[in-house]
Amino acid sequence: MKYLLKQMGLYLVAAWAALTLNFLLPRAMPGDPVMSLISRMRGQIKPEQIASIKAAFGFTDGPLWQQYLQYLNAVFHGDFGISISSYPVKVSDIISTGLFWTILLGVVSLLISFIVGNLLGVFITWRRGGVADTILPGLLTFMGSFPYFWLALVMLFLFAFKLGWFPLRHAYADELSPAFTWTFIQSVLVHMVLPAGSVVLVSVGGWMMTMRSTMVGVLSEDYIVMAEAKGLPQRMVMFAYAMRNAILPNITQFGMSLGFILSGQLLTEMVFSYPGLGFYLVKAVNTQDYSLMQALFLMITLAVLVANFIVDLLYVRLDPRVRAG
């Protein structure tokens, strides 16, 4: 319990830091984003619109702390302002679908990488010096050195463009519309193979090596010797005794790498034009859409924090020593 509260506290601080950063940056930077927007629109706006843009940005009158409170208030009401690039569409409308696809892709690729990676780690420790142990570490470490977006490019080129086995872009076939039909779900799955595949191929080596490292540590513990002394079959010793313990530090590490892996995934989304948050990130960058950018930063950060908390809940479930507090 104490552990969970401590983590919650950390996440609240992080969320506050992100919010405040979002607030301060446009005010700290040289130049005026509102003015740059206006100049981009080449004077085709009416004065009322200028006022509403300023309001949307939070550049209201009044002292700084007052603006800050108004800003916080707006955020808590889900009001992220108006997108510059898609003016006058509200930012919150744009990114809600993006959030869904990013989470879908993220959960799928993370789960696959983590599970496969950890199982491989157990396997190569079990069959030390075997074929897998000789080849996999070098191979998967090399693949793990690829930048996420680069492998995405290569896979897109090879499997979608050249071989035509998988679609080139998007989350589902263009002619379909979202529905709970089998055709739609199938299309979603097919479109997920390459993006998820490239994230998995890059990440899996890291999980495998970490698991191997923890397994080697755990296997030298006395309770493993006792398990052997009990005459338990090797399968049971490896999984119920060794892996059960070795996976714990990997879960905490999982939480910490979430932000890092998500960053890689965002770039992958860009390459595949996958309609997740990464896609909107590119749009925001290319059109200098500050309000969209801010909202995305916040949204992505919050998603990672929530994911971290879920991982913490899982960890508490798995390690009885933490449950006591």
> Looking at beta carbons only, is 93 or 128 nearer to another protein?
128
Of 90 and 169, CB closest to another protein: 169
Q: Which is nearer to another protein, 197 or 264 (CB)?
A: 264
C-beta closer to another protein: residue 212 or 275: 212
Least spacing, CB of residue 183 vs another protein, in Å: 27
Residue 148 CB, nearest approach to another protein (Å): 7
CB of 187 to another protein, least distance (A): 21
- 220: DSSP letter: T
Minimum Å distance from CB 85 to another protein?
13
Please, what is the minimum distance in Å from the beta carbon of residue 175 to another protein? 21
Where are the alpha helices (H) located in the chain, listed in sequence order? 2-28, 33-40, 47-57, 64-76, 91-126, 131-144, 148-155, 182-219, 222-229, 234-236, 244-272, 277-287, 290-318, 320-323
Q: Are 285 and 293 in contact (CB under 8 A)?
A: yes
Structure tokens at 238: 């490896």
- The one-character DSSP state at 173 is -
Residues 6+ apart with CB under 8 A from 231: none
Q: Smaller CB distance to another protein: residue 74 or 232?
A: 232
Nearer to another protein, 141 or 181 (CB): 141
Q: Of 85, 123, 121, give the one whose Cα is nearest residue 285.
A: 85
| Residue found under tokens 């000789």 | 134
Question: By C-beta, is 52 or 213 nearer to another protein?
Answer: 213
Which tokens belong to 132?
């897998």
To another protein, the closest distance from the beta carbon of 146 in angstroms equals 5
Least distance from another protein to the Cβ atom of residue 161, Å: 6
82 strand-pairing partners: 90
CA–CA distance, 148 with 269 (Å, rounded to integer): 10
Taking alpha carbons only, the member of 299, 295, 294, 296 closest to residue 279 is 296
Nearest in space to 211 (alpha carbons), one of 132, 323, 120 = 120
Say whether 82 sits in a helix, a strand or coil: strand
49 or 232, CB closer to another protein? Answer: 232
Nearest distance, CB of residue 48 and another protein, angstroms: 27
Helix (H, G, I), strand (E, B) or coil at 90: strand
